[in-house]
Structures are given as structure tokens and as C-alpha cells.
Structure 1
Amino acid sequence: MLTRWRSCLVVIARNEAATITRLLTSVRPFVDDMLVMDTGSADDTVHLSEAAGARIAHFPWIDDFAAARNAALDAASADWHVVLDADEWLIGEGGGGAALAALRTTSPEFVGTIALQDHFDGGTAQSRLSRVLPGHVRYAGRIHEQPVHDLPLRALDVQVGHDGYQPERLHVKQGRNERLLRAAIDDDPANPYLWYQLGKDFSVYERFADAEAAFANASDRLTSLPLTPAWWNDLVARRLFGFKSLKRHADGMVFAETQLQRCAESPDFFFALGDLLLDWAADEPQQADALIPMIEDAWRRCLEIGERPEQPGAVEGRGSHLAAHNLALVLGATGRHEEARALREAR
């Protein structure tokens, strides 16, 4: 007879009435239990969670995501914990319900990763995150907290959507992450990941000068890490976009040259590089003859690499139709209409 393992969806939430029902409804058929840890909602989050079949617990918010997550995990007390946020949801019928249901007959001896699809204004980005945890695993980190364990990772066929980067959602969160990240950096100023996350937060809100300062700090501190971290390609692409937005094209090019080998298989890097160079050519037409071949090379390299959804932060289309569209525009603008048309038709 198969051993039966109990699974529980675990959520921390505060004022998430707009999205909590979507999450709970999408996951409910595939788990044994659902626990929503409310951290001080003033809206209908608790009522809607109960109506969707979740248990409710309460934890006072103390500016520490790991503390809230760990309190929720303690309250859930299952063999498997599926950790999702209120602005996430299981995508469609093929989003991984079968993989979650299979946890009931799977020994909790590994940490499962899920495929997260971030929806933002203008596109989607892909990442894989450790969100399916054996019952004893707990978190560390005031913000952008991570599960602490030495277990093997297993990629699960679970697809999760996230729309927390949509403009209306960002407005609600503005300032919160910066405050927590600065507090975390005060505790651990040599941590390049925290500086990267601070830069990412600034870039989301188009504070590009602040973002560049934070990304530069992350870069300076990267030497403390034995290997290039998985998030590095995302930092590089965001930093290049920031250089473009600040009109610091030459500085961006100098930085890009230092990253050619490290980011050789990142379509996001070459896409951002082409974007930076095109903006430079538009601002300084006298440089266009020298820059256009480099712009073409960057976007051709995107197409050679192709889509790399397994790379954290990879934006859909930068290895395919977005790069092809941009390249075709440049080819057409420089009189190569047949090649531009062939490229559009091929895509």
C-alpha cells in the first residue's frame, strides 16, 4: 500500500482581496489543505479566503518575510508545502495540477521547483523557483527570502502565473521593498544579491540612477562569490537598459564589453545591447555608420541563441520575434528591404 503524504498550499497575504480567490481556486483541487496566513488585512482577504476553502491564521507583520513564511509553515504542518503568493495562480488546466496531486504519493525528500511566468507591462519573463518544500524546510531572509536546505532540487511540471509587476500592483507596493532591502543591506552590506534586488526594485520604478548605483555595488561585490550567480544575466540586461535610459551609452558599451564572455548565451544581454546601441545611433547620427553593424550583430546573435526560458529573468521573444522585428526594422531603414521581408516572413 502506498504511503499517503499530506500536502498544503501555504500563502502569506495582506490586503489581497483582488487576487486571493483566483489563487485558491486554481490550486484547491490538487492539494489536501490550504493555509492563508493573514498579516493584517483591512479588506476582504480573510472572508474570501475562507469562502474559497482555506484555513486562516494570523501573524503580525514585523517587516520580515521569512518570519511570516515560517509562521505560516508552522501553522500548515503538512508533509509537503506548496508556497505561492496571492498574486500568483496555477496556469490553465495544464498548469501542473497533476504534478501537485502526485505529491500525495511522493516521499518529501527533495525541493521542487516551479516555472514562474511574470506578466509585466509589455511582456512576460520566465524563471524557476523553489516553491514545493518538504515539511521541515524553513526560510531565511528579511526580503527575497530563500528556503534553507541541502536537499536535491527537482524540476516539477508546474506552471504558475504572476502579475505583481503590473502597474496597478506596483503602485501599491512602492517603497515597501526598498525599505526592507535597505534594512537587509544594513545587516549584510557585502551581499551582492541584496544589491541586485535593490537595483531591480529601482529599475521597476524607473529610478535608473539609483538602480545603476545599486547594480554597480552588486558588481563590485560579486568577487566574493565562487561562481557566477544565476541572476547575473538579468542584472546585466537591466543595467544596460538603465545606461540607455540615462543616456550613458559609452559607459554601457564599456560594461557590455566586460560581459561578452560571461553572457555569451543570453539573448536578453544581446537584445539589451542592441537596444542601447540603437538609442546611441539615434542620439548621435554621426556615429550611426559605426554603430549599425554592431546593432545588427547583437540582434542576429539573439536569433542564433534562441529562446532561453530556463535563464532567470528571460523575457519571452528576445530570442525570437522581438529580436527579428527590431532587426527587420534596421534592415529596412538601411535599404535592405528583401532581407527585411524574408526575416519577417520567416518569423
Structure 2
Amino acid sequence: MNLSICIITKNEKEKLIRAMQDLLSMEVEIVVVDTGSQDSTVQALSELKKQPHKARLKIAEFEWIDDFAAARNEAIKQATGKWIFMLDSDEYLMKPCDEKILEMLLRKHPGQVGRVLRRNLIPAKPAAREWISRVFEKAYYHYEGAIHEQLVPNDPQMQVVLFETNIYLEHDGYYGSDEERRKKATRNEALLLKELNERGDDPYLLYQLGKSYYMDGEMEKAAEQFDKALGFDVDEKLEYVQDLVETYGYALMNSGQTQKALGLEGVVDYFGHLADFCFMMGLIEMQNARFDEAILFFQKAAQVPQGKVEGVNSYLAYYNQGVIYECTGNKEKAIEMYRKCGNYPKAVTQLANLTKND
């Protein structure tokens, strides 16, 4: 298959070697660009290259210049395949990829951008799924942006058309020690602030800066950046805008600004078809003691076939309805909702408490 899997890495030897295990069994080229590792990553890759594999492993080194797009573009330059699959060293194949189906999809969509489904593992929270653009023809695309870089066509007039691939990833980049997460957040925030200073306020960069603050637990600073981003005329159909609105709501709740969060009722017409948005609105209404409104949002979330965060359109929506019914004295409805949650531990506990004397 005429495909190059490109990975940029730095000081993530253990994760990278784990990610490589499934890839090496594929008949593809794997290009790893190291940007200055000091943890023997290059040596480990060199040993791996000596072993027999279906895949062809190519190792390159690139001096880190505080620019993720530059590193990714170097990986693309080093690749010889017609198609590029860009992968991070903390991402792993959830299941083996059927190469024949993937090759058929690539041939069917010349010049288009393939999306992969990624499951993000987040400490102490439900996993979240998202479709991300990662597969493309080398001749037509490159990356731009020092941080949270974006794939753009070489020809500004080219219309980007997306298609879904059969690639499913798991991402554990949010795990690690507090020191590691703080170091990564500090790096990202510095790069984003530098780019904002050079380019001026940009809604996407403000969103990413807010996300960085949010993941670092700085909720007030996150909400401030999200607020700035939403001050622009943004396209509500863009996925980052949808996530921007939802994360803004959580940042407001987590920083004690629950009444201000009610203002998001004004964008229900734009985002009310999304399970994650409806679930978030249910929590906002719940925190403002608007229980009837909260129930309606949770019911709506449960009617949407799919959500990004696991459970928002099923057991989490039912559980929160159960909590409201229990707190307002409607034991029968509370039991009904908790039973709908299946084996969700919190619901099992509440159900046991409500039925122990029955």
C-alpha cells in the first residue's frame, strides 16, 4: 500500500514503541521524526529497525524550533508514499486496520482528507470521541501553525472534502504525572501566546489557549479566552466551535459562574441537536435549580444517537434525571431513571439505597 505513517516525537520512547507495535505489521512506510529526544528514543528506534517487519521504518532527526507544523512538514518531506497518515506518539490503533479496505477508501477519494475516529482517555472522566483529519495525499497538503497546527491545501482555491476511514485510535496524552502535564501546558500556552502576539487575536488560537488553561485547571482564565473567541463571527458548523461552546459552559460552571452560563440558552438553536451540548445545558440548569428545564435537556440528550463524551446520551443523562427526581421527592421516577443506567456504579448505589426497604 502506497501509504506513509508519519510520527513526530520527543522524549516519549515508551509510548512510541507501544504505538509502533501494531503499525510494524502493516505493509507501509513508517517515518519517525525525532525533534531532540534525550531519552534514547533514537537508539530504541534504531534497534527496532534491525528487526524483521512488514513495515519499512525510516528515522530522521529535526531540530526543534518551537513549531509543530514545521516538524510535521519535515515528516511529510521525508515520506515517499503517495498518501500520508499523520499519527502522534501517544496514539494507538484501537484495533488492527484492514489494509485492503483502507486502500480501497484511499483510491475512492483522491485529493480528499480522511478522518480517523479517536477516543481520548481523560483522567477521572468519561472517555471522549472525536473525528480528526489525519489522512491525505502528500502532493496536495501541508501544515500551518506553530501549535495545534492545522492541515491546509497547498492551493488556497482548493476545496477540502472529507471522508471517514476505517482507522480507530486511542489517545492517552492527557495522562502522566502532574509535573509532566504542567510542563506540557506551560509549553503550549507559551507557543499560543507567542502566535497570538504575532498574528493578533484569532478565534481558533483563543479557543486552543482556553483549552490549555482548562486542561490545566485554570477555569477562570479558560472562560476568559473562550469568551473572547465567541466575540468573533464564528461558524457554528465547525467542530472546534461546537467544542468551544461546550467547554466554555463547563469552564463557567467550574469557576462558579453558573448564572452567567445560563446565557448559553441563547445558542440552543445552533447547538441543540448535539447530545454533548444538551447534556451540558442540563447540568447548567440543574446547578441553577431550574429542574424542569434540566430534565428537558437531559431527555433531549438521551434521544441523540451519538455523543462525543461516553454516556452523555445514555446513562449519564438518565442518572442526572434520577438525581433530580430523588431530590424533589419523586422516588418512583428516580428508580425508573437509575434502572435505565445499567451498571453505572453511582446509579447502582442510589438504586440500592432507594429500594433497600422495599
Structure 1 gaps of 5+ residues are 282-290, 309-313
Query: Does the C-alpha gap of structure 1 residues 77 and 107 become closer, same or farther in structure 2, counting only changes over 3 Å?
Result: farther
Aligned twin of 1:166: 175
* Aligned amino acid, residue 309 of structure 2: V
Say yes or no: does 1:315 pair with 2:318: no
* Aligned amino acid, residue 257 of structure 1: E
Q: Residues 6 and 76 of structure 2 are in contact (CA less than 8 Å); yes or no, is this contact kept in structure 1?
A: yes
Say yes or no: does 1:336 pair with 2:347: no
Aligned twin of 1:276: 284
Q: Deviations over 1:209-230 (max 9, x none)?
A: 1101100110012x1x466422
2:231 aligned counterpart, secondary structure:
helix
TM-score normalised to the size of structure 1? 0.87
Aligned twin of 2:302: 303
Pairs aligned (count): 325
Question: C-alpha displacement at 1:345, in angstroms?
Answer: 2.7
Q: Residues 140 and 148 of structure 1 are in contact (CA less than 8 Å); yes or no, is this contact kept in structure 2?
A: yes
* Aligned amino acid, residue 14 of structure 1: K
Aligned twin of 1:286: none
Query: Does the C-alpha gap of structure 1 residues 32 and 307 become closer, same or farther in structure 2, counting only changes over 3 Å?
Result: closer
TM-score normalised to the size of structure 2? 0.84
- Pick from 150, 168, 174: which aligns with 1:146? 150
Q: Deviations over 1:247-268 (max 9, x none)?
A: 11111112x1221111111221
Aligned twin of 2:75: 72
Matches of residues 93-104 of structure 1 in structure 2 within 5 Å? Answer: 93=96, 95=97, 97-100=99-102, 102=104
Question: C-alpha displacement at 1:344, in angstroms?
Answer: 2.8
1:318 aligned counterpart, secondary structure:
coil
Aligned twin of 1:202: 213
- Pick from 295, 319, 330: which aligns with 1:325? 319
Query: Does the C-alpha gap of structure 1 residues 31 and 129 become closer, same or farther in structure 2, counting only changes over 3 Å?
Result: farther
Question: C-alpha displacement at 1:194, in angstroms?
Answer: 0.8
How many angstroms apart in 2 are the aligned matches of 1:338 and 1:96? 48
1:147 aligned counterpart, secondary structure:
strand
Query: Does the C-alpha gap of structure 1 residues 306 and 6 become closer, same or farther in structure 2, counting only changes over 3 Å?
Result: closer
Aligned twin of 1:113: 115
* Aligned amino acid, residue 193 of structure 1: Y
2:88 aligned counterpart, secondary structure:
coil
Structure 2 gaps of 5+ residues are 50-56, 342-358
After the TM superposition, which of the residue ranges 298-307 and 154-163 deviates more from structure 2? Answer: 298-307
Question: C-alpha displacement at 1:59, in angstroms?
Answer: 0.5
Q: Residues 138 and 148 of structure 1 are in contact (CA less than 8 Å); yes or no, is this contact kept in structure 2?
A: yes
Question: Could you list the runs of 4 or more consecutive aligned residues of structure 1 that deviate by over 6 angstroms after TM superposition?
Answer: 103-107
After the TM superposition, which of the residue ranges 298-307 and 72-81 deviates more from structure 2? Answer: 298-307
Query: Does the C-alpha gap of structure 1 residues 179 and 44 become closer, same or farther in structure 2, counting only changes over 3 Å?
Result: same
After the TM superposition, which of the residue ranges 34-43 and 327-336 deviates more from structure 2? Answer: 327-336
- Pick from 17, 26, 31: which aligns with 1:30? 26
Aligned twin of 1:21: 17
Question: C-alpha displacement at 1:332, in angstroms?
Answer: 1.9
Q: Deviations over 1:115-146 (max 9, x none)?
A: 11111112211111111121222111111111
1:315 aligned counterpart, secondary structure:
coil
* Aligned amino acid, residue 122 of structure 2: F
After the TM superposition, which of the residue ranges 160-169 and 133-142 deviates more from structure 2? Answer: 160-169
Greater RCO structure (CA 8 Å; 6+ sep) = 1
1:19 aligned counterpart, secondary structure:
helix
How many angstroms apart in 2 are the aligned matches of 1:175 and 1:18? 22
Matches of residues 287-298 of structure 1 in structure 2 within 5 Å? Answer: 291-298=290-297
Query: Does the C-alpha gap of structure 1 residues 98 and 159 become closer, same or farther in structure 2, counting only changes over 3 Å?
Result: farther
Matches of residues 233-272 of structure 1 in structure 2 within 5 Å? Answer: 233-254=242-263, 256-272=264-280
Matches of residues 41-60 of structure 1 in structure 2 within 5 Å? Answer: 41-53=37-49, 54-60=57-63
* Aligned amino acid, residue 114 of structure 1: V
Q: Residues 123 and 316 of structure 1 are in contact (CA less than 8 Å); yes or no, is this contact kept in structure 2?
A: yes
* Fraction of identical pairs, as percent: 28
After the TM superposition, which of the residue ranges 51-60 and 226-235 deviates more from structure 2? Answer: 226-235
Say yes or no: does 1:192 pair with 2:194: no
2:239 aligned counterpart, secondary structure:
coil
Query: Does the C-alpha gap of structure 1 residues 107 and 276 become closer, same or farther in structure 2, counting only changes over 3 Å?
Result: closer
